[in-house]
Amino acid sequence: MSKQLPPQPSLEQFKKQAKDLLKAHRAATSAALARIKGHHPNFSSRTPEQIGAADFSLQEAQFVIAREYGFDSWPKLVQAVSEPSGPAISGGSFIEALDLIGQTPAMRQVQRCLEDLVSSVAPVLVLGEQGTGVERVAKAIHQGSARSAGSLVKINCGAEAGMAVDIELFGYVQGAFTGAVQDRPGRFEEAAGGTVFLDEIDKLTPKGQLLLLRLLEEGQSQRLGASEPIAVDVRLVAGARGNLQEAVDAGRFRADLFYRLGVMPIVLPALRQRREDIPLLVRHFVDQIGRAGAQTRLEIDPAVPETLARYDWPGNLRQLEAVLAHGCLRCREGVLALEHLPTDQLQAKGAA
């Protein structure tokens, strides 16, 4: 498989690319600059102007470029892209690291959207079935953005009923309701400078939807019972498992909030809709599981991806990863085969 990384450039090309990368990060926010400075001890004592004017050594330039691909050293980047069966790197390894890889048209579209959105400040709406990677997309957007030095706050709007979610998100002032004995900040205030991921956003109450719309339009969060809003600096990523348009049509979700969120929605395909990616995903997950357990890299019997590609995968990526983790635990011969997988479960669905 070809690796989408350019060949090692000359020292002068390294210097130019490194300076351009630092300039882009510095122009984005001071938080991004602090992140880069923290990655390399030689940068920590320099001002932004000194960094922009620095004459980079080959080692420094290699380091900066490696960091942009998500590695902490140039040799590790070279090793990763040199593996014969390793996944392609395109536009940043945060996509690969969060299992958002794939070569089908639907996944290429997701990757292109991610590459466009990480440098933006716009809210993001992510749509997909359970297990397709909605939360992974939120992590990718946060980690690839200038806000990565801040917090990623994750809240499931369907985990608690009614006003409890509104209280969690927006906070309250003393006396707002029975039991509100002191002021409490909301999660949007606590996530200042970072990203907030609201999963199952279609479960948000009408009051919560209105407060969220105001936050997106005015950059202000209002605690329950408060007369004045509070300025907040957060980026929002929202996730929904069902058809959000149907919720709008049924009057359960505000149309103006839907349009405000859906400027460039990311639609994640179900695994059954991208079966061609399954061999790539099998190799990726097996390697990932092996690294986590400090195991020797397993070979994979060709029958494994061929068989798994015939399964419908109602649990999508999460289910595939679990099946392969089971197989890796049972495999002791160095080659992952069908006999190591929980075939009784798969056969029940017609995979084998």
71 with 124, same domain? no
Considering only 43-57, 64-78, 169-183, which range has the smallest mean pLDDT?
43-57
Domain limit, last residue, from 243, 267, 291: 267
220 with 292, same domain? no
242 with 280, same domain? no
Q: How many domains does the chain have?
A: 3
Provide the pLDDT for residue 38: 45
Other residues' Cβ atoms within 10 Å of the Cβ of residue 256: 13
202 with 256, same domain? yes
Q: What is the mean pLDDT of the chain?
A: 77
In a domain, 155, yes or no: yes
Mean pLDDT along residues 40-49:
41
- Choose between 289 and 35: higher pLDDT: 289
In a domain, 5, yes or no: no
- pLDDT at position 156 over 80: yes
252 with 291, same domain? no
User: What CATH number has the domain bearing residue 323?
Assistant: 1.10.8.60
- pLDDT at position 47 over 70: no
In a domain, 165, yes or no: yes
Burial (CB count <10 Å: 0-12, 13-18, 19+), residue 12: exposed
- Choose between 44 and 172: higher pLDDT: 172
In a domain, 89, yes or no: no
104 with 250, same domain? yes
Q: What is the amino acid identity at position 28?
A: A
Strand 335-336 to 299-300 pairing: parallel
Residues forming beta bridges with residue 98, ordered by sequence position: none
User: What CATH number has the domain bearing residue 122?
Assistant: 3.40.50.300
In a domain, 94, yes or no: no
In a domain, 6, yes or no: no
130 with 105, same domain? yes
In a domain, 178, yes or no: yes
Provide the pLDDT for residue 303: 94
- Contact (Cβ atoms closer than 8 angstroms) between residue 202 and residue 126: no
Domain limit, last residue, from 82, 116, 145: 82
Residues forming beta bridges with residue 94, ordered by sequence position: none
Portion of the chain with pLDDT greater than 90, in percent: 37
Element (H, E) at 151: none
Provide the pLDDT for residue 250: 94
108 with 217, same domain? yes
In a domain, 4, yes or no: no
113 with 181, same domain? yes
- pLDDT at position 222 over 90: no
115 with 178, same domain? yes
How big is the CA angle at 114 (ends 40 and 142), to the nearest 5 degrees?
50
114 with 205, same domain? yes
275 with 323, same domain? yes
Q: Which of 288, 286, 292 is nearest to 334 (CA)?
A: 286
| 40: CB partners within 8 A, 6+ apart | 60, 63, 64
Domain limit, last residue, from 267, 297, 327: 267
- Choose between 158 and 67: higher pLDDT: 158
Provide the pLDDT for residue 20: 58
Segments forming the whole domain that contains residue 278: 271-348
Q: What is each CA distance from 322 to 30, 282, 286, 327, in whole angstroms? A: 40, 11, 11, 9
